[in-house]
């Protein structure tokens, strides 16, 4: 190797980081492995029957949204007050009559457009945290600058496929205006697909208006460019903050992941089978609603099911119960015939430590094995979702990279069988310099950008840094190498004008 | 709660820790979940055919052990020098004719006796490290005191099922005498099953002699009480250090896990399919040998397959390639009809940090999903196996506990369906105080002894300890609560005499 100045090395490294984030990246996972099915046919039928009983005999409440009650009444459901009851099979039939099993979410960079459904998996970063954490500054309320930095960081991580939505809450912006800055941030600083605002019709309308500026009105009318989650208030309630945005997205052919949010023991029974039946009932009722509003609009069956600590009532993550439930929920979604949305690298840990990775690794691996088509919180989540971590994003994204390689399955080509190599090398010799190894070594194995596989002595000589410290260096390198993806100046201007005008039209509000 | 003195609380806690380690523990996992099969029938046949070709056209070398060459020649294999070649199907037939698909390894406490094979999984701690690590003293050469402390710590961890063997190398004892102290340590400080010495006929003979004292000669003749691993020198070599002990164990009906040790890219091709074919070939040849020596003696197909870093040549762990290979190897072992041995919570990390848990969690989860019947290194392993960690053992054992709960599958009993609870609670209410929750909360969910699920504020008030720091407190508590399991005084005396006599009969040797 010829000597290089620090500056030249730095430039080359930045260039390499940018390239890694760019063209060579697979835009989403196309799984070549199967799913891990934890329930047999009998178990699945039992859960489905129980879900049907719940919908027939208890029903689901749709609060403060008379329009939805009319829609259900018109469709033949039994509506009493805000409670809606369904005959067994009714929701399933409504879903299967029109909901697509796979759909496309377009990105402004077509190379980043994703397919959601079937054997595809999209990995999307953390959503919804009011705090951020990094090693230098600890935990603090997030700002719009943190938000932009997280969007940029995620854009630089090649194992992510989506830009998510509220990667952290910019609490320095009034509550009622944040969604505008966040949408603009995703559009300007990432060229991957992203979320629309989830809470309330007004934010959903703003989301649709902004993507119409970005993609053109006609394109948005005919294509899905936004992703949204509609969370139930388990047990068996959907409130109008969620149904309001759901209606806007469904009417505009934008995707809604109908996702019961269940902490088993608090919001559902303290058993997996009970939680699954309730979860399926809620998801079916909400998915059916999307199809009643606009038959054929993309909807996903969602599952966010974990257990609480039975000592303290606190939510726990990466637990065995959550693993079992996500596997079963994936099976139930496939039988329903819609894509499956779930959650990934969750943890209750306050810092990106060993607990965080034990929980995140188990949870994300289970979500992949469940055949999830969209994995929310695939990186960055800390503290039960209250905090987004910079180091955590980088560490989880490495795990995402591993799972992408894992999902490739085992190559059985003649080259991969490597019989020539085994014959060439023979007993007791080594493969390091064999022809086959030389020909394949660059692409042979997943290479982690942050794991340390060196000797103890070398690791010590390099400062005895644990993974969190190395991840701290890494996210700074990535942000330094970041360059915003190009965007048409006129579109940018129009978006900025829209945001300015909308913000000027509202008083600041912090609720 | 009534106030307690610190001493009373401490006594109760120790008592609770001892009880947790005692009678209520399940002695091994009886999996109620399936396996995750990564290869289809066609893929499995391809690997099996390639393994047969390797055994027929290359063969395997058995070095410095003429007796083994005679055994193979007598059985009809093609022996030229030290190279042994097999007709396709020969090894498989030899194995399937007599090797048991499941067997019992007895512990001196019958409550800890394990079944190895079929749907059973035994979790066993770290094996073979010359160094130990704990937060207080860092990394250092291990001593016999460390060895005893690790045996005691593992005995106190309820999610482990085995005491392993060289949980660390007591380097303060001469190399040729260590096995005697280690065997005595397992016997005195644990009442779980354990390993015999692996390297050389002499250590195996000592192992058999000592268990004859412990269990009685007659019992040992008719039962399996020792576990041993026979590692090949991949590619395609077994040396006489391994074949020497293998012969002793096979002749005495003691179990041998025939385990190719393959770092793909160095000791096997840099592909999964190539590595699997070579691994299967080696494992079949060695398993067949055990059956030629003593038809019906327990043998396991073993797999220790991981990838090297293609930049540095260093081994890497918890990688996607290792995950894929262990899943496939489990399938191959089931088709062979023998129990499957593999490895668990491996990591290249030097410390019990986020890297360690990302790698360990992925690896151990994959081993369980592979249907492994015996998982070596299920806790405690650091630094690519060079180091045993006290905190790491406690952290990994928590993961073992999670996987034990996961392997229970989903309970579909009427109580677990919890329909009464869902009907009792109804829309928008909570389950915390429902009858069903009150009746089930104690056993509802896995409870981690070391995870922190509390609020940030409470975590901070308790000292902002990360998982490693909490694990440091935990292993000290467990060691403090430890009491040696009772053993017959005469047997203890006889064992100590045996060790003293054997040690006196040899000069100290450090190779």
User: What dihedral angle (degrees, nearest 10) is formed by the CA atoms of A42, A44, A48, A51?
Assistant: 110
pLDDT at A315 exceeding the cut of 70: yes
Q: B114: which 2 tokens? A: 């394990």
Average pLDDT, chain B: 95
Contacts (Cβ under 8 Å, ≥6 apart) of B437: A265, A269, A270, B421, B431, B444
pLDDT at A78 exceeding the cut of 80: yes
Q: What pLDDT band is residue A94 in, cutting at 50, 70 and 90?
A: very high
pLDDT at A256 exceeding the cut of 60: yes
In this prediction the pTM is 0.96
Give the integer Cα–Cα distance in Å for B122 and B368: 10
User: Which H/E stretch holds residue B421?
Assistant: helix B419-425
pLDDT at A26 exceeding the cut of 90: no
Map residue A255 onto helix, strand or coil. Answer: strand
Q: What pLDDT band is residue A14 in, cutting at 50, 70 and 90?
A: low
Which residue pairs from A330-333 have beta carbons closer than 8 angstroms and sit at least 24 positions apart in sequence?
A330/A35, A330/A303, A330/A370, A330/A371, A330/A372, A331/A35, A331/A37, A331/A38, A331/A39, A331/A44, A331/A370, A332/A44, A332/A47, A332/A48, A332/A276, A332/A280, A332/A301, A333/A283, A333/A300, A333/A301, A333/A303
Provide mean pLDDT across the span A5-16.
57
Per DSSP bridges, beta strands B340-343 and B299-307 are parallel
Greatest alpha-carbon pair distance for chain A in Å reads 79
**ipTM computed for the complex:** 0.95
Greatest alpha-carbon pair distance for chain B in Å reads 79
pLDDT at A20 exceeding the cut of 90: no
pLDDT at A3 exceeding the cut of 50: no
Q: What are phi and psi of B404, to 5 degrees?
A: -60, -45
How far the first Cα of chain A sits from its last, in Å, is 59
Give the integer Cα–Cα distance in Å for B160 and B10: 24
Quote the pLDDT of residue B25.
57
Chain A hits for B16, Cβ within 8 Å? none
Chain A hits for B418, Cβ within 8 Å? 269-271, 273-275, 277
Nearest to A34 by CA among A471, A439, A407, A364: A407
Quote the pLDDT of residue A210.
98
Q: What pLDDT band is residue A472 in, cutting at 50, 70 and 90?
A: very high
Q: A117: which 2 tokens? A: 């459904």
pLDDT at A19 exceeding the cut of 90: no
Indicate the angle between helix axes B354-369 and B390-406, nearest 10 degrees.
Answer: 40
Give the integer Cα–Cα distance in Å for A62 and A59: 10
Cβ atoms of residues A471 and A394 within 8 Å: yes
Give the integer Cα–Cα distance in Å for B229 and B206: 16
Nearest to B470 by CA among B16, B135, B83: B135
> In sequence order, what DSSP letters do the residues of A280-339 get, joined into one string?
HHHHHHHHHHHHHHSTT--EEEEEEEEEB-TTT--B--S-HHHHHHHHHHHHHHHHHTS-
Nearest to A60 by CA among A89, A82, A75: A82
Q: What pLDDT band is residue B18 in, cutting at 50, 70 and 90?
A: low
* Cβ–Cβ pairs < 8 A, chains A and B: 396
Distances (CA, A) of B340 to B257, B331, B370: 8, 9, 9
Contacts (Cβ under 8 Å, ≥6 apart) of A93: none
Which chain B residues in 100-119 lie under 8 Å from chain A, judged by CB atoms? Answer: none
| Per-residue model confidence as pLDDT tens digits over B116-160 | 999 999 999 999 999 999 999 999 999 999 999 999 999 999 999
- Is B138 touching A (CB cutoff 8 A)? no
Place of tokens 């397992």: B186
Cβ atoms of residues B184 and B484 within 8 Å: no
Distances (CA, A) of A119 to A229, A297, A373: 21, 20, 7
Distance of CA A184 to the CA centre of its chain: 19
| CATH of the domain spanning A28-409+448-511, picked from 3.20.20.80, 3.20.20.480, 3.30.390.50, 3.40.50.300 | 3.20.20.480
User: Which H/E stretch holds residue A272?
Assistant: helix A272-293
C-alpha atoms less than 13 angstroms from C-alpha of A490 in its C-beta half-sphere: 2
Residue A388: Cβ within 10 Å count: 32
Q: What does the buried/exposed string (b/e) look like for A401-435 if buried means 16 or more CB atoms within 10 Å of the residue's CB?
A: bbbbbbbbbbebeebbbbbebbeebebeeebbebe
C-alpha atoms less than 13 angstroms from C-alpha of B396 in its C-beta half-sphere: 39
- Is B428 touching A (CB cutoff 8 A)? yes
Provide mean pLDDT across the span A87-112.
98
pLDDT at B168 exceeding the cut of 90: yes
Place of tokens 């074919």: B277
Cite the beta strand spans of A38-125 per DSSP E: 60-62, 78-80, 83-85, 102-105, 114-117, 120-123
Alpha-helix residue ranges (DSSP H) falling in B54-177: 66-75, 90-98, 144-156
Which chain A residues in 470-509 lie under 8 Å from chain B, judged by CB atoms? Answer: 471
Measured at the CA of B350, the angle between CA B347 and CA B353, to 5 degrees, comes to 75
| Per-residue model confidence as pLDDT tens digits over B384-422 | 999 999 999 999 999 999 999 999 999 999 999 999 999
Q: What pLDDT band is residue B19 in, cutting at 50, 70 and 90?
A: low
Provide mean pLDDT across the span B76-101.
98
CA of B341 vs chain A CAs: smallest distance (Å) = 21
Lowest mean pLDDT among B22-26, B108-112, B382-386: B22-26
C-alpha atoms less than 13 angstroms from C-alpha of A33 in its C-beta half-sphere: 28
Going from N- to C-terminal start, the domains of chain B cover 28-409+448-511
**Which among B270, B273, B453 is the nearest to A417, CB-wise?**
B273
Give the integer Cα–Cα distance in Å for B508 and B511: 9
Provide mean pLDDT across the span A164-192.
98
**Which among B266, B328, B361 is the nearest to A361, CB-wise?**
B361
- Is B321 touching A (CB cutoff 8 A)? yes
Contacts (Cβ under 8 Å, ≥6 apart) of B413: A273
Give the integer Cα–Cα distance in Å for B315 and B303: 15
Quote the pLDDT of residue B241.
94
Cβ atoms of residues A311 and A304 within 8 Å: no
pLDDT at A363 exceeding the cut of 60: yes
Cβ contact B354–A356 (<8 Å) = yes
Chain A hits for B357, Cβ within 8 Å? 354-358, 361
Quote the pLDDT of residue A96.
98
Chain B hits for A141, Cβ within 8 Å? none
Q: What pLDDT band is residue A211 in, cutting at 50, 70 and 90?
A: very high
Smallest CA–CA distance from B139 into chain A, residue: A456
Burial of B102 (0-12, 13-18, 19+ CB in 10 A): middle
pLDDT at A301 exceeding the cut of 80: yes
Quote the pLDDT of residue B4.
45
Q: In what order do the strands lie in the sheet with A387-389?
A: A138-141, A131-134, A387-389, A381-382
Cβ atoms of residues B180 and B147 within 8 Å: no
Interface test with B, best of A321, A355, A380, A432 (most B CBs within 10 A): A355
Provide mean pLDDT across the span A62-84.
98
Q: What does the buried/exposed string (b/e) look like for B394-404 if buried means 16 or more CB atoms within 10 Å of the residue's CB?
A: bbbbbbbbbbb
Give the integer Cα–Cα distance in Å for A85 and A66: 15
Distances (CA, A) of B464 to A246, A362, A466, B357, B444: 41, 24, 18, 19, 28
Q: What pLDDT band is residue A1 in, cutting at 50, 70 and 90?
A: very low
| Per-residue model confidence as pLDDT tens digits over B321-366 | 999 999 999 999 999 999 999 999 999 999 999 999 999 999 999 9
Provide mean pLDDT across the span A267-289.
98
Q: What does the buried/exposed string (b/e) look like for A224-255 if buried means 16 or more CB atoms within 10 Å of the residue's CB?
A: bbbbbbbbbbbbbbbbbbbbbbbbbbbebbbb
Which chain B residues in 359-418 lie under 8 Å from chain A, judged by CB atoms? Answer: 359-362, 365, 369, 383-384, 386-387, 395, 398-399, 402-403, 405-406, 408-413, 415-418
pLDDT at A4 exceeding the cut of 50: no
CA of A78 vs chain B CAs: smallest distance (Å) = 16
pLDDT at A442 exceeding the cut of 90: no
**Percent of the residues in chain A that have a pLDDT greater than 90, as a whole number:** 93
Provide mean pLDDT across the span A21-38.
83
Give the integer Cα–Cα distance in Å for A208 and B345: 47
pLDDT at B2 exceeding the cut of 60: no
Give the integer Cα–Cα distance in Å for A370 and A5: 48
**Which among A265, A325, A432 is the nearest to B444, CB-wise?**
A265
Quote the pLDDT of residue B310.
87
Residue B427: Cβ within 10 Å count: 20
């Amino acid at each position: 190797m010829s000597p290089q100045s620090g500056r030249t090395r730095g430039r080359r490294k930045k260039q390499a980081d940018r390239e890694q984030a760019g063209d060579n990246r697979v835009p989403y996972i196309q799984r070549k492995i199967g799913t891990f099915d934890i329930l047999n046919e009998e178990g699945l039928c039992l859960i489905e029957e129980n879900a049907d009983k719940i919908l027939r005999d208890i029903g689901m409440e749709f609060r403060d949204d008379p329009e939805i009650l009319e829609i259900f009444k018109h469709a033949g459901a039994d509506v009493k007050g805000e409670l809606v009851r369904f005959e067994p099979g009714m929701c399933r039939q409504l879903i299967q009559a029109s909901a697509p099993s796979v759909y496309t979410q377009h990105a402004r960079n077509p190379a980043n457009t994703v397919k959601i459904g079937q054997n595809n998996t999209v990995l999307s970063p953390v959503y919804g945290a009011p705090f951020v954490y990094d090693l230098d500054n600890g935990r603090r309320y997030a700002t719009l600058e943190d938000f932009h930095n997280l969007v940029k960081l995620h854009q630089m991580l090649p194992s992510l496929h989506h830009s998510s939505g509220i990667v952290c809450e910019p609490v320095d912006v009034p509550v009622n205006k944040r969604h505008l800055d966040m949408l603009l941030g995703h559009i300007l600083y990432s060229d991957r697909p992203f979320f629309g605002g989830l809470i309330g019709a007004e934010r959903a309308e703003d989301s649709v208006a902004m993507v119409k500026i970005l993609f053109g009105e006609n394109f948005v009318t005919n294509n899905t460019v936004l992703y949204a989650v509609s969370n139930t208030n388990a047990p068996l309630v959907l409130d109008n903050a969620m149904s309001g945005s759901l209606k806007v997205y469904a009417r505009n052919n934008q995707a809604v992941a109908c996702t019961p949010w269940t902490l088993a023991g608090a919001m559902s029974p303290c058993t997996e089978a009970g939680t699954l039946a309730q979860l399926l009932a809620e998801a079916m009722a909400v998915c059916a609603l999307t199809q009643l509003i606009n038959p054929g609009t993309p909807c996903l069956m969602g599952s966010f099911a974990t257990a609480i600590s039975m000592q303290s009532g606190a939510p726990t993550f990466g637990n065995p119960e959550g693993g079992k439930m996500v596997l079963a929920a994936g099976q139930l979604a496939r039988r329903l015939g819609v894509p499956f949305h779930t959650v990934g690298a969750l943890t209750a840990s306050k810092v990106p430590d060993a607990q965080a990775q034990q929980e995140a690794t188990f949870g994300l691996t289970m979500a992949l094995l469940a055949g999830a088509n969209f994995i929310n919180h695939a990186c960055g989540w800390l503290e039960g979702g209250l905090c987004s971590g910079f180091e955590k994003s980088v560490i989880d994204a490495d795990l995402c990279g591993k799972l992408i390689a894992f999902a490739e399955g085992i190559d059985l080509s003649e080259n991969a069988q490597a019989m020539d190599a085994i014959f060439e090398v023979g007993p007791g010799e080594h493969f390091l310099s064999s022809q086959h190894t030389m020909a394949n070594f660059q692409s042979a194995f997943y290479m982690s950008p942050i794991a340390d596989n060196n000797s103890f002595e070398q690791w010590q000589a390099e400062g005895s840094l644990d993974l969190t410290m190395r991840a701290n260096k890494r996210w700074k390198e990535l942000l330094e190498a970041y360059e915003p993806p190009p965007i048409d100046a006129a579109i940018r201007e129009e978006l900025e004008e829209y945001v300015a005008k909308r913000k000027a039209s509202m008083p600041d509000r912090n609720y």
